[in-house]
Amino acid sequence: MRVPAHVHQTRFAKIGAIPQQFETPRFETPKADSPGFLLLDNRLRPLYLNDEAVSILSYPQTPRGNGDLANFLRQRIDAMLAKQKDSPNPTFSSEFASGRRHYQVRVFALRCNLENHAGPSLAVLLERKREHPDLLRAARKFHLTEREKEALELLMQGCTTRQIASRMDISPNTAKAFLRSVMFKTGAFNRAGILAKILQL
């Protein structure tokens, strides 16, 4: 079958016994904020990764040799899994840290139409999270912790306490405690006051 001229050719490499597909066109360099993309089998082993995914997962280390890279990437993928007690089914965390950058983890289940079920089971997208400038200024000025900053970010998005708790994977009481701490540090008397303080920065 002939490939249309406008379709870029892709590069292929081997990671141990695992074929790896780099999706960046041959004459194009990866962009720093491009999303990482992975295809995993039913045992969460990487089948395909683009250049950005390799960069995100391996930073700041540089594994040597294909075999080392394969093992290293498996460990990094395992690090994205949420550790839930008494849960036989692994689930992915909603965020993944690579150096100082934070990435949103989006997972899509794939239906395998092959008889031997040898195709990919999951597609994983790693998208860099962009923090609002007001949030960054508030975090620096009021010396907010990462969890307090996360609660404030969700509050700025209009989330309720229950929604904040769900997004942060904590109890509603813990979410209230984070918000009370933010109120204390900002000198606000209520949640609306927190937002008012942020707008005044």
Q: Which domains does the chain have, with CATH numbers?
A: 11-128 (3.30.450), 133-199 (1.10.10.10)
How far is CA 196 from each of CA 65, 154, 182, rounded to the nearest angstrom?
A: 53, 15, 13
Please report the pLDDT score of residue 69 as a whole number.
Answer: 75
What's the pLDDT at 13?
35
> To 5 degrees, how large is the angle CA 176–CA 177–CA 182?
95
Per cent of the chain over pLDDT 70 is: 71
Residue 15 has pLDDT above 70, yes or no: no
First vs last Cα of the chain: how many Å apart? Answer: 60
**pTM reported for the whole predicted model:** 0.51
- Nearest to 40, CA basis, from 127, 105, 128: 105
- The phi, psi pair for 172, rounded to 5°, reads -60, -35
pLDDT band at 183; cut points 50, 70, 90 = very high
Length of the chain: 201
**Model confidence at 86: pLDDT above 80:** no
User: Between residues 28 and 79, which one has the greater pLDDT?
Assistant: 79
Amino acid letter, residue 171: S
114: its two tokens: 């092959």
Looking at the predicted structure, is the pLDDT value of residue 7 above 90?
A: no
Among 115-119, 143-147, 168-172, name the one with the lowest average pLDDT. 115-119
